[in-house]
Amino acid sequence: MFRDIQRKKQALSPEECAEILKETRRGVLSVTGDDGYPYGMPLNHYYDGETGTLWFHSGKTGHKIDALRRSDKASFCVMDEGVKNPGEWWLTFRSVVVFGRIRFLDDYDRAVEISRRLSLLFTDDEAYIEREIEHSGPSVLVFALEPEHITGKRVSER
């Protein structure tokens, strides 16, 4: 059902993929958009290392949400910042692509918990986070990408 990566020597282990998903803050969620066109959008995410679930938050309406309601299939791609070794002009970086299905979260208390975890990736100002949740929480939609297939690889740009 899912293709293997072609350059197997560049493949990352499942543990390395999980590490990158946990360490990165943003990636690109890709869905099937209007009229069958691909639609990719940058999103921040929270990776739950215990369950392997990727969590996102969004407004409750729009192109992305319409697409996700039409088809629950999606992919999410992240890459690390890369490393430039002394004397080299190129970067070596690692990327991960997750294929899976979207699940919308209906439990408000759980949505607040996920929103809080996601916010803590960007700031430790808990008072600010609580004000934002109180103000925006009711208008936020939280959804999960439940992975069905994950690949990762190390690439040099040279």
Q: Which domains does the chain have, with CATH numbers?
A: 8-156 (2.30.110.10)
Which helix (H) or strand (E) element contains residue 66? helix 63-70
Q: Per residue in 111-130, pLDDT tens? A: 999 999 989 889 999 999 99
3-class DSSP state of 137: helix
What are the tens digits of pLDDT across the range 29-76?
999 999 999 999 999 999 999 999 999 999 999 999 999 999 999 999
Mean predicted lDDT score pLDDT of the chain: 92
User: Are the C-beta atoms of 152 and 93 separated by less than 8 Å?
Assistant: no
Sorted by sequence, the CB contacts under 8 Å of residue 59 that are 6+ apart come out as 65, 139, 140, 141
pTM (predicted TM-score): 0.89
Three-state secondary structure call for residue 122 = coil
Q: At residue 8, does pLDDT exceed 90?
A: no
